[in-house]
Amino acid sequence: MNFKRKRVVGACFRILFLLVFVPLLLYILQQVGTGFCSKLLEHGKVRVKEINDAFRLDLDTLQTYDIVMDYSGMSSEGGGGVDRRKLVGMPDARGLLQIPHKVYLSGYWPVGKEVLVSESSFAVSFTMSLYQPSWKDNKTINQSSHPAGLAFIVLPPYQKAADEGNLTEQLGLGADGSLNLSSSIARTAHFPGGGQVSVQTGRLPNRLSSLPLIDPNGPLLVVHVSVMEPTPPAAGTARYTVWIEYARLTQSLSVYVGAGEVKERPDDAVAIKKNISYLDGNYWDASFGLYSSAGQLLQVHSWSSDVDGATYLMKYIMDNYLHAAAIFLALILSLAATVAAAAVSGVAWYFRTKQRRWKKEQKKLAKIMQSLPGVPMQVDFSDIKKATFNFQEASKLGKGGFSSVYRCRLPAAAACGGRSSSYVEVAVKKFTRGVEEQRYEDFLAEVSIINRLRHKNVVPLNFWSYNKGEPLLIYEYMTNGSLDQHLFRRDGNNQEQQDDTSSSIRQWGTRYSIATDIATGLHYVHHEHEPMVLHRDIKASNIMFDSNFRARLGDFGIACTVADDRTSVTGVAGTWGYIAPDYAMSNRATRQTDIYAFGVLVLELVTGKKNRDVPADDGHISDWVWRLLGEGRLLDAVDDHQEAIVADEAERLLLLGLACTNPNPSNRPSMAVAVQVITKLAPPPDVPPERPAFVWPPREWRSSLDSEYDCTITTESTVELVQIMQDQRPSEIQNSTITSVSM
C-alpha cells in the first residue's frame, strides 16, 4: 500500500510541474519577441535546406548529353542535349560534359551590417572504362594529340562560351594531349596485377580573362585522372572507380582510384591537394563537369555525388542575440530536464511492471509444468547462462526458424539437485522470436507435445528454465550430431570428408538401422501415442544420433497433436523439398504428409544426395530415382561411398521411398506398412515404372469440392508441380497463414 501511495504522489508532482512550466515557457517566449524566433527559424531553414544533397545518375541509360564540343560546333546549351548517337560517331572529338544537377557549395547572406558565409563539403565518385580509340591501331596518326583519361572540374554558374577561342584553348590543353596546369602536383599509383593510375591536380592558367568559364577571382581547380592498363591488357574491358572528396574543415581535396566497380573506396589517397577553398561565394549554383574525348565520356558508366552543407550562423546569432540565446538555452535545458525526469519515471515504471509480469508468468509456467505427466525438472537460469558463457556463438549447435540450440556442460548438482561434482552434457533450446508472447506460446506448444513422448527413438526432454521472458527447453545432448552432418559431408571436389564417425555412415548396416529407427519413431507418434502427433518437419537435420549411433526424432517445434475425431490439422509448415504436393495444395497436414517427408528422407539416406542435388532435368530426388527405375538402373541411385551394400535391402528401401513419395496421398503406405517392409515382415511395395501423375483435387473429393476447385490439375513433374502450387492454389489456401516454412 505504501508503494502505491508513493507512485500516486510522484505522478501528482510531475503533473503539477508541467502545469507550471508550460505557461512560464510560453510567457518568456512572448517577452523575447517574435523577431528573434523568426530570424532563428529563417536561418535554420537556410541551414537545413542543403544539409544533405545526394544525387545518383546511370550514364549508360542517357540518350542525350549536356555537353559542349570543342571544334565540332555542337552544344547542348540551347536545350535538349546532344544525341548519344552523334557522340558515338565522333569519338575522338573533345568536349565538356556537365552533370545535370546543380549543387550548392558556397554563398553570402547579408544580415544587417554583417555578412554570413557558408561552405559545403562534397564527395563524388564515378566508374569508367578505358576508351580504346581507333588511332591506337594506326601508327600514322599522332597519338599524343588525344587526351588520356578524364579531367574533373567544379564549374561556377556560366553562360554560353565566348565566340573567340575554342574549348581546347579555354581548358589549356597542351600539345602532348594533357592539361597544362599551374601549381600542380602529380602522383602515380600501381594496381595489383599491373597497370597504373596518374592523378594531377592544379589550376588552369587564366590566360583568357574574357571567357566566362574562368572564375574571375581565381583560375579553376582541375583534377586530371589517367589510367594505363597492364601490357598485355586484361581480358575484357576493365573498369575503374574514382572518388574525389573535398573537406571544408581541412580545406583539402583528396583523390582515390580503385580497380573494378567497387563500393568501398581505398584507404590511401593517390593525391591530396591542400589549401583550397570554395568559400568565395561564386559557387552558390555550381555544377560538376568532366572533360575528355567523346569516346572516353561515353565510357563513364555511373555517377554519384553527395554535398554536405553547413552554414556558419552560430557566431552571428551568439554575437547579436546573446541574451535571448541564453534565455532560450535555459528553457531548452529546463524542458530537457523535465522530459528526462518523465522518461526516467516512465522507464522505471515500465521495468517494474515488466518485472512483475515476468514473475507472474514464471509462477504460471511452473504450475503448468507441474501439471504435465512426467514433469521435467526446472533448472536455474543462471546455471545455464554460465554454462553457455552467456549464449556465445561458440556454444551454438544450430539455428532454426524460431529458436537456437546451444551445447553446454551443466553441473550435475544444478541439474539433479544433488551435490555431485560431475557434469551433464545437454542441448539448450532458446526461443528467439522477437515478441515475448510468441516465445511463450512456442515454448508451451513444444513442451506440451515433447513432454508426453517416451520412446527410444525420440530425443528426450530433461529440464526446462525461464527468466525474464526467455523460456528454455533442455534436451539430452546427442553426442553424434544430426544425420545431415554425416550424410552430406562433401568438399569442393565432391569427396567425402573423413572424421571419427564418418566410417559409420559408410557402412550399409548403419544406414539400414537408421531407416529402421526413423520408421519406428514415426510409427510411435502416428499410431502408438495418444493423441496422434504429426511431426510436420521430418528432414535430415532433425534426425539426431546418440552415443550408440541410434537415430532419434528431434525438433518438435512445429509438431501438433490431432484430436481423436479428426485426421488432419490446418496450416502449412515444414521445409521445401519435404512438403508433399497435397499438403501444399490443401493446407492440411495428415499422416500421409509426414510419410511423404519420410520417403524423401529414405531416398536421401540411400543415395547420399540432398533432395535437390540431382540433375536439373529431374528437379527432385524422387523424379531422379523414378527415372532410374524406369530405365532398369534402380541400384545406380545407391551412394557409391557406401561399403558392401546389400542389394536386396537397398532395393527395398528405394522402392519404399518411392512409394512414400507417390504424388497422390491415397497411394502411399502407412507407417505400419513401412515398418513391416523395413523389418522384412512384408515384401517391398509395388511401384509403377514411371512416376504417377499428380491429380488435384483427389477424385474422392471432387463431388464435395466442385464449388471450391474450378479446375483439375494433372502433372508428372515435381518442377511443374512447384510452379502450380505457387500459381493455382485455391484462394482460401493462398490467403491462409503459413506457420513455418524453411528452405
Question: Binding site membership for ATP: which residues?
Answer: 430
Selected catalytic residue, list 66, 442, 517, 537: 537
d(Cα 239, Cα 247) in Å, to the nearest integer? 27
d(Cα 150, Cα 180) in Å, to the nearest integer? 14
Binding site listing: 430
537 belongs to the catalytic site: yes
Q: Give CA separation, 317 vs 320, 325, 533, in Å.
A: 5, 8, 74
Report the largest interatomic distance among the alpha carbons of the chain, rounded to a whole angstrom.
105
Q: What does DSSP say about strands 396-399 and 740-742: parallel, antiparallel, or unpaired?
A: unpaired
Q: What does DSSP say about strands 221-228 and 470-476: parallel, antiparallel, or unpaired?
A: unpaired
d(Cα 2, Cα 391) in Å, to the nearest integer? 40
φ and ψ of 127, to 5 deg:
-110, 145
Buried b (16+ CB within 10 A) or exposed e, 135-162: eeeeeeeeeeebbbbbbbbbbbebeebe
d(Cα 154, Cα 120) in Å, to the nearest integer? 13
Tell me which residue of 259, 256, 261, 234 sits closest to 245, measured CA to CA: 256
Tell me which residue of 309, 241, 430, 422 sits closest to 53, measured CA to CA: 309
d(Cα 63, Cα 404) in Å, to the nearest integer? 53
Q: What does DSSP say about strands 287-293 and 150-155: parallel, antiparallel, or unpaired?
A: antiparallel
Q: Alpha helix locations (H) across 58-127?
A: 84-89
Q: What is the number of alpha carbons within 13 Å of residue 405 lying toward its C-beta?
A: 20
Specify whether the CB–CB gap between 343 and 162 falls below 8 A: no
d(Cα 398, Cα 404) in Å, to the nearest integer? 6
d(Cα 91, Cα 294) in Å, to the nearest integer? 5
Q: Is 310 left (phi over 0), alpha (psi -120 to 50) or beta?
A: beta
Tell me which residue of 70, 127, 129, 135 sits closest to 97, measured CA to CA: 70
Residues in a beta bridge with 173: 179
Q: Alpha helix locations (H) across 372-453?
A: 381-387, 412-416, 436-450
Specify whether the CB–CB gap between 695 and 637 falls below 8 A: no
| Catalytic positions | 537
